[in-house]
A and B are shown apart, each in its own frame.
Chain A
Amino acid sequence: MIAAYGTSGGGIWTGRAVFVVVTAVLILLYLFSFGTPGRQPPLPDLLYCSIICVVVRRPGAAPFWLVVPVLLVADIFHMRPLGLWTLIIVGISEIARYNRAVFLNQVFVVEWLAAMAGFLLALGVQQIAMILLLVNTPPFETVFWTMITTALAYPLVVALWSGVLGFRKPHPAEVDFARDDG
């Protein structure tokens, strides 16, 4: 049953498989040539949006031991500092996971703002970490525009996950927070 993805029922492994396949496709997508280098605006971080979206809706489908390898693979293929973005996003997604009860009863805008605040935090931490590690930081404009495009993409990504793939918000009554940690 599609609606049962990622709840603690039998569909949990289906949910995980869907999560892995979709994120793999997203990672691949970034490997295609998208026109001239230095294009403005840069592409949104769809992987971040997907992870937060799934973690909030069906945490069982995206346990951290799946999120880590997915992000690591992205780090490897997108030529980013190895492990840094993974470390940051796993941290942020765990925060989202522990506070997901907050989003269940709220309107979508709250979740959207929270997700973007998390992304901003992640970018900030990344910049600081890169300065501390004496690595070339990405230019401010690129970071800024990534933020904007990611913010715009978040509702679309949520629409994809909950509308097309069936990762809807569970009804508050059917959530068992103790078992759902993944």
Chain B
Amino acid sequence: MATPEHPSPEFGRRVRQLFLGFVLVLLLALVLFWRIDNPRAEQLRLRVVDLVVPQMERLLTPVGRLSHIVEDFQSYAQLYEQNRELRRELQQMKAWRETAIQLDQENARLQHLNNVRLGPNLSYVTSEVLVDSGGPFQQSVLINIGSDDNVRDGWAAMDGLGLVGRVSGVGRKTARVILLTDRNSWIPVKVQPSNSRVMMAGDNSGLPQLRFLQNAADVEPGDRVITSGDGNVFPAELLVGRVVIDSTGQFRVRPSADFRNLDFLRLVQAFPSPPIPNQGDLVAKAIDPPDPAIPADPATSADSTPSDASGGSE
């Protein structure tokens, strides 16, 4: 056949086929690795994204702005109408703002009177959305803060108003937020005013479904949907959206968050209170020491109160 000194086309083709087969086997191995050790593979992916995306930010910003300009241009046509509407809305909002301030003051006063302590374990970090890596498979966005800013997996992400999704995958300077609408997103929610507890499952359409509803009569279109805090996934009482019915009669949620303009996300830091493993434990601990040391009792109950209070305010 071919000697190394005079490689014939035939020889080159053989080498190429061998190389191709080798690469295909490697790819197959990569797929299997991704499937078998998914967390590690995703971590690897995030590390790559973490390296590249912050560098891309400079490039992304002007292009993103350009696309905004195009969008804005479409609305110039209705500028006058929009302006009038905004003014009207602004008037209403001013009234609301006044009301809100008054209520806030009143609330603070009443809380002070009642000596209420709010759960200290809820606070916010705000982040900027870098890129939207959604597709037919995943509806997710990348944000510009990560483990350097103490972001952890599982935190809730909101825009100004409603829930947007959940942090899933944290790199050093970036983190990935899976949107509510993603197929892998299952969130325990509560429908008000009936307080029925339901699961909200994304299906890659804009309106996530309500699943496992016990009594359909309890829910009506227009009802408010908030997170229930069940299963310690999320803090409770975050606004999600409103109930709608689709053409097949399936209950769905129209998210309050504006998914068209996800520019900034507010991550709700949640440090879940340590679970109480067994129902009797709190009491049992107090009883366990058999000596008649009664003063020990208030101490233990005082210890447990803060976690109780935070559990309630989650």
A-side residues, CB < 8 A to B, are 28, 30-39, 42, 64-65, 68, 76-84, 86-87, 90-91, 94, 129, 133-136, 138-139, 142-143, 146, 178-179, 181
30 residue pairs of the A-B complex, CB under 8 angstroms, read A30-B135, A32-B67, A32-B131, A32-B132, A36-B206, A36-B260, A37-B182, A37-B259, A38-B204, A38-B205, A64-B20, A65-B19, A68-B23, A79-B135, A79-B138, A79-B176, A81-B137, A82-B30, A82-B41, A82-B45, A83-B27, A83-B30, A84-B34, A90-B23, A133-B31, A134-B35, A135-B35, A139-B204, A142-B136, A181-B13
CB-defined contacts of B31 to chain A, threshold 8 Å: 81-84, 87, 129, 133
**Beyond known contacts A37-B259, A79-B138, A81-B35: 9 more, CB 8 A cutoff:** A30-B135, A32-B60, A32-B131, A37-B182, A65-B19, A77-B133, A136-B184, A138-B183, A139-B183
CA distance A34 to B67 in the complex (A): 9
| Closest chain B residue to A71, Cβ basis | B27
CB distance from A52 to the nearest CB of B (A): 17
CB distance from B170 to the nearest CB of A (A): 15
| Closest chain B residue to A35, Cβ basis | B260
* A-B CB pair tally, cutoff 8 Å: 123
Q: Which of A30, A79, A181 contacts B140 (CB 8 A)?
A: A79
CB-defined contacts of B125 to chain A, threshold 8 Å: none
The 5 A-B pairs at the shortest CB distance, nearest first, are namely A83-B30, A79-B138, A33-B132, A82-B34, A31-B131
Considering residues A77, A78, A136, A139, which has the most beta carbons from chain B within 10 angstroms of its beta carbon?
Answer: A77
**Does B308 touch A at the CB level, under 8 Å?**
no
**Does B7 touch A at the CB level, under 8 Å?**
no
CA distance A61 to B179 in the complex (A): 38
| Closest chain B residue to A86, Cβ basis | B27
B-side residues, CB < 8 A to A, are 9, 12-13, 16, 19-20, 23-24, 27-28, 30-31, 33-35, 41, 45, 48-49, 52, 56, 59-60, 63-64, 67, 129, 131-141, 176, 179, 181-184, 203-207, 259-260, 262
CB-defined contacts of B23 to chain A, threshold 8 Å: 64-65, 68, 90
CB-defined contacts of A42 to chain B, threshold 8 Å: 135-136
Contact A146 B136 (CB under 8 A): yes
CA distance A133 to B35 in the complex (A): 7
CB-defined contacts of A139 to chain B, threshold 8 Å: 136, 183, 203-204
Contact B9 A178 (CB under 8 A): yes
Q: Which of A31, A37, A135, A179 contacts B204 (CB 8 A)?
A: A37
CA distance A84 to B205 in the complex (A): 24
Q: Which of B56, B181, B262 contacts A33 (CB 8 A)?
A: B262
CB-defined contacts of B181 to chain A, threshold 8 Å: 37-38
| Closest chain A residue to B183, Cβ basis | A136
CB-defined contacts of B259 to chain A, threshold 8 Å: 36-37
Contact A37 B27 (CB under 8 A): no
CB distance from A88 to the nearest CB of B (A): 9
CB distance from B132 to the nearest CB of A (A): 4
Considering residues B19, B59, B183, which has the most beta carbons from chain A within 10 angstroms of its beta carbon?
Answer: B183
CB-defined contacts of A86 to chain B, threshold 8 Å: 27
CB-defined contacts of B64 to chain A, threshold 8 Å: 32-33
